[in-house]
Chains A and B, each alone.
Chain A
Amino acid sequence: QKEVEQDPGPLSVPEGAIVSLNCTYSNSAFQYFMWYRQYSRKGPELLMYTYSSGNKEDGRFTAQVDKSSKYISLFIRDSQPSDSATYLCAMGGNNRLAFGKGNQVVVIP
């Protein structure tokens, strides 16, 4: 079993829809969780960072962590064409850091 599993997609949604992305992980030592966004031909940029189980909101973005199920999610409300990108989950703990493979999202105008 891979340490971090993320469905690569692609995921196509109409403008205004909610985008739902998720990752699962196997290492219970992971304590903090991140989501990155990567536009084509650019380096990934950090979107969300959280330590605890539950929800964290930032504008149209909500990160959700369920440590008991080893499952994290990212929701994008009112999606815009500019949200079209690849989204990577990442998680760390005990000085380790692991990334998902990335999920390509396309928001159709």
Chain B
Amino acid sequence: GAVVSQHPSWVICKSGTSVKIECRSLDFQATTMFWYRQFPKQSLMLMATSNEGSKATYEQGVEKDKFLINHASLTLSTLTVTSAHPEDSSFYICSARDGTGRNTEAFFGQGTRLTVV
């Protein structure tokens, strides 16, 4: 299957700082990328959907000014957690869809474990 690379796999940051997470599609063009958040032993929670070259669509209750998403190219989307707080500590996962076909499956990155201290 296609490869989606997410970086970093884990990060620890101080409260009040910002953290950027990268999601890259390595062998296909991803016109759509999804960002999820997952708390321990809970299911994936969709945060936002981003389409290359346009603004991300955020799910209800997700602060767009706090979770900045940029999808500037067909192979890269970034999620920046701004002014991080301990309650932002979570597992963040991206997924990407191949844009060459109309109906295609999504592939997930390895996830990023964020710990805010």
A88 and B44 contact, Cβ closer than 8 Å, known pairs A43-B6, A97-B34? yes
Q: What residues on A are CB-neighbors of B105 within 8 Å?
A: 32, 34, 46, 49, 90, 92
> B43 to A102, Cβ gap below 8 A?
yes
> B108 to A44, Cβ gap below 8 A?
yes
A86 and B108 CA atoms in complex are apart in Å by 14
> A97 to B113, Cβ gap below 8 A?
no
- The residue in chain B whose Cβ has the minimal distance to the Cβ of A34 is B105
Chain B interface residue count, Cβ-Cβ cutoff 8 angstroms:
24
A46 and B32 CA atoms in complex are apart in Å by 17
> A46 to B1, Cβ gap below 8 A?
yes
Q: What residues on A are CB-neighbors of B109 within 8 Å?
A: 43
CB within 8 Å of B: which A50-94 residues: 86, 88, 90, 92-94
> A41 to B103, Cβ gap below 8 A?
no
| Contact of B91 (CB < 8 Å), options: A41, A94, A99, A101 | A41
Q: Does A2 contact B (CB under 8 A)?
A: no
Q: What residues on B are CB-neighbors of A86 within 8 Å?
A: 43
- The residue in chain A whose Cβ has the minimal distance to the Cβ of B45 is A101
Say which size band chain A's interface belongs to.
20 to 34
> B103 to A99, Cβ gap below 8 A?
no
> B43 to A97, Cβ gap below 8 A?
no
A102 and B97 CA atoms in complex are apart in Å by 19
Least CB distance, A39 to chain B, in whole angstroms: 10
> A41 to B41, Cβ gap below 8 A?
no
Least CB distance, A91 to chain B, in whole angstroms: 10
Q: What residues on B are CB-neighbors of A88 within 8 Å?
A: 43-44
Q: Which residues of A contact B (CB under 8 A)?
A: 8, 31-32, 34, 36, 41-46, 49, 86, 88, 90, 92-95, 97, 99-102, 104
Which 7 A/B pairs are nearest by Cβ-Cβ distance? Answer: A101-B43, A43-B108, A102-B43, A43-B111, A44-B108, A43-B110, A49-B105
A-B contact pairs, 13 of them (CB 8 A): A31-B103, A41-B113, A42-B110, A44-B93, A45-B108, A46-B1, A49-B105, A93-B103, A94-B103, A97-B34, A97-B97, A99-B44, A100-B43
A43-B6, A90-B106, A92-B104 known; 19 new pairs, CB 8 Å cut-off, are A8-B43, A42-B110, A42-B111, A43-B4, A43-B93, A43-B108, A43-B109, A43-B110, A44-B93, A44-B95, A46-B1, A46-B105, A49-B105, A88-B43, A92-B106, A97-B34, A97-B97, A97-B106, A102-B43
